[in-house]
Structure 1
Amino acid sequence: MSNKNWSAPQSLDFIPTGKLVTFTAMHQAAYEQYIQITDENGKPITFQTLSGSNCEFPIHGQGQTVGFFENGTGKFTMRKGLQIQFANSGSHVSLVAVANPNLFFINGKTFGGGTLYVTEDGGGTDYNDTSFVLQWFEFEG
């Protein structure tokens, strides 16, 4: 989707090569939000569009019928050189903040890790437009 104002690419090299990576994306913005994972040549290997038509604030109700978040999920296998980028249907380049990557342990052994990305689509400084959780696992199955 090269016709978008993509944020600067951010490396995913903190994830070990060959690991299964899953992600979940949620948003609550009026603009459509776009997320892509690109290979070492900048070619998208996965792409998500989060529709701006279902946002509602404040949240009413509970459970799956709230209608507040439009979700996107996916998976890929990590390889060297993969990067992530964000965009939106507005006129501004998405601002991106990322948490420090974390590992999780069970009895002292690494079982996986992950991190959180949040975006601002250019209209403010609240970074509440997209929440993108990326996690990887040491073992599959």
Structure 2
Amino acid sequence: MKSFMARPLEVERKWYVVDAEGKTLGRLSTEIARVLRGKHKAQYTPHVDVGDFVVVVNAEKVVVTGRKAEQKVYRRHSGYPGGMKETSYEQMLSRKPTEVLRKAVYGMMPKSRLSRQQFKKLKLYAGPEHPHGAQDPQTLEVG
């Protein structure tokens, strides 16, 4: 009995479209990260990119539970003394609506060269329209 390892050239990629309207941020991003990595497939191989493309529409209509809408803070640092910048969830959602979901999915991916390559297969759109109709994406049901 030989163990199966996927080869990069033999991987069959699918396109999925996810409607984020009314979905919880964390639960949605874990499912997206799982599909991007390819863990939903039987031929999952840890060191090979077997994941699929994910197109997310209505990213601005994602919801958070509890009081996270008022309390959640995104921090970044410029590298200079006193360079800490803070942005609240509400400000981030109004300025860059897709960035909230992008940061959540990125945080759930491992930090490696392979996962950065897998992360590039995520396409986010704030509204209901996307330009990937030619790829004939299937709807991905996320609970």
Structures share fold, TM-score greater than 0.5? no
TM-score class normalised by the smaller sequence = under 0.3
Q: By percentage of residues, which structure has more helix?
A: 2
- TM-score, with normalisation over the residues of structure 2? 0.24
Which structure has more strand as a fraction of its residues?
1
TM-score relative to the length of structure 1: 0.25
